[in-house]
Amino acid sequence: MATRTAPYPAYNYIVNVNGPRDPEKLLGGFSDVSGLTTEIHISEYRDGNEPESGVRKVPGSYKVGDITLKRGVVDSSDLWAWITKTRTTGVLAQRDVVITLRDEAANPVQQWKLRNVVPMKYTGPSLAGKGGGEVAMEELVLSAERYEIAPAS
């Protein structure tokens, strides 16, 4: 099997937020996903009697960035139900979210598995009486405790 050298396109992906009705049923398509970041805190340390004046860099705790999802408003209340559950039950509303990148033939190639996720911010659409057919967009910001990157299975 040949190894692929060309990067995969960024437009072919699936976001599964594990909805309450059916964990395998997707809750509408998202047009944008951003914020898949992680950062490791580096502490600088130097013993007072070291012969060199440089510091050692010691990796410590890590954090995961907030993930932003955008989509056109669809006839679904599932995301709002998740927000409501988070407001009322806190950590009991945590879910795992999986973002799967696919190749041009729609075969899954890589996954970002977000763990212990809750919605932290919702932004509704900007509505205006003027205009020519712009889509009403909503935005959901997710807070994940950690994530893993793995080849899609």
For 79-99, write each residue's pLDDT tens digit: 889 999 999 999 999 999 999
pLDDT band, residue 18 (cuts 50/70/90): confident
What CA–CA distances, in Å, run from 74 to 101, 113, 125, 136, 141?
23, 25, 11, 9, 17
Angle (nearest 5°) at CA 63 between 59 and 65 = 135
Tokens matching residue 148 = 């893993």
Output the six-digit token pair for 36. 């898949």
Q: Is pLDDT of 22 > 70?
A: no
Q: Where are the domains of the chain?
A: 13-43+55-127+134-151
The residues, any chain, with a CB within 8 Å of residue 105's CB and separated by 6 or more, are none
Tell me, what's the pLDDT at 27? 63
13-43+55-127+134-151: CATH topology: Pnp Oxidase; Chain A (2.30.110)
Residues across the chain: 153
| Res 108 pLDDT > 60 | yes
Question: For the segment 112-153, what is each residue's pLDDT rounded down to a tens digit?
Answer: 999 999 999 999 998 888 877 888 999 999 999 999 999 887
**pTM summary value:** 0.85
